[in-house]
Chain A
Amino acid sequence: MIKISNLSKTFGKKKVLDNLNCNIQTNSIYGLIGANGAGKSTLLRILNDIYKKDSGSIEIDGVEVEDNEELKQNLVFIPDDLFFFPSYTILDMGKFYQSMYKNFDMEYFKQLIKMLKLDLNEKIQNFSKGMKRQTALICAIATNASYMFFDETFDGLDPVIRNIMKKILINQMEKKDTTIIMTSHNLRELEDICDNLGLLYKGGILFESDINSLKTNMFKIQISLKEDFGKDQFSELDIMNYKKIGSIATIIAKGDREKAEESLKRMNPVILDFLPLTLEEVFIYEMEVLGYEFNQVI
Chain B
Amino acid sequence: MNLIKSFNFNYLKENIKKSAGLIILLSLIVPVFTLLVVILGINNPERVIVTDKSPLLIINFIGMYIVPVLISFVLFGYIYKKNSVDFINSKPINRKTIFITNTIGGILLITIIQLITAIILLVCDLILPKVIIFPEMIFDIFVMMWVSYVFVFLATNIAMSISGTFLTQIVLTMLILFLVPFCMDSFNRFSGYSTYVLDTQTENGFYNRLITDSNYTMPYRIIHEIMHFYNYNIEFDWYSTTSILKMIILGIIYFIVAMKLFQKRKMENNEESFFNEKIHILVKALTMFPIFILLNIIKADKEFNIFILALIVTYYFVYDFIVKRKIKFKKSFGYLLLTLIVLQGICMAENKLINFVPKKIITSSDIAKINLSNYYSTMYNDEHELIDYIENREIIDTLLDAVSKFNANTYGVVTNNETDGIIVDEKGEKEDTGSFFRVNMKLKSGKNVYGNLIISIKDKQKIEELIRQDENYKQTLKNNILKNNKELIISTTNILKGEEKKQVISEIEQVVNNYSFDELLNISSTDGACINKYYYKNHKLNIIGIKDNITPKVLQIVSKYTNEECNYIINNREQNWYPNFSIVPKNTGVRLYINNVNENIFKFIKENKDEKFDSSKPYYVIISNTMGKAIYYYTNKVEEIDKLINIEMERQNYFENNLDIEIKQ
Contacts and interface: CB of A to CB of B under 8 A. Distances in A.
B611 interface: no
A190 B268 CA distance: 27
B33 interface: no
Interface core residue of B11, B18, B90, B266 (most chain A CB under 10 Å): B90
A77 B11 CA distance: 17
Contacts of A76: 90
Interface string A68-86: 1110110111010111011
Nearest to B9: A99
Contacts of A154: none
A99 B90 contact: no
A77 B90 contact: yes
A51 B92 contact: no
Interface stretch (A42-50, A165-173, A240-248): A42-50
A69 B87 contact: no
Contact of B90 (A50, A82, A92): A50
A24 B419 CA distance: 88
Nearest to A69: B94
Contacts of A72: 90-94
Given A50-B267, A69-B97, A72-B92, 19 more contacts: A11-B268, A45-B268, A48-B86, A49-B89, A50-B90, A51-B266, A51-B267, A52-B266, A67-B94, A68-B94, A69-B93, A69-B94, A72-B90, A73-B92, A85-B14, A85-B17, A85-B18, A86-B18, A100-B92
Interface string A93-129: 0001001110000000000000000000000000000
Nearest to B277: A12
A99 B95 CA distance: 17
Contacts of B600: none
Residue of A11, A69, A92 ringed by the most chain B CB atoms within 10 A = A69
19 contacts: A45-B90, A45-B268, A48-B86, A48-B89, A49-B89, A50-B90, A52-B264, A69-B92, A70-B92, A75-B90, A79-B87, A81-B82, A82-B83, A83-B83, A85-B14, A85-B17, A85-B18, A99-B13, A100-B10
Interface string B59-99: 00000000000000000000000111111011111111100
Indicate the size class of the contact surface on chain B: 20 to 34
Main secondary structure of the interface of B (DSSP, over half): helix
A79 B10 contact: no
Contacts of B11: 99-100
Contacts of A73: 92
Range, interface on chain A: 20 to 34
A101 B14 contact: no
Contacts of B263: 67
A119 B268 CA distance: 34
A50 B86 contact: yes
The list of the 3 closest CB pairs from A to B, nearest first, reads A99-B10, A79-B86, A72-B92
Interface string A160-193: 0000000000000000000000000000000000
A99 B17 CA distance: 13
Contact of A50 (B10, B18, B85, B93): B85
Interface in B249-275: 263-264, 266-268
Nearest to B87: A83
A116 to B, nearest CB: 21
A88 B90 contact: no
Contacts of B18: 85-86, 88
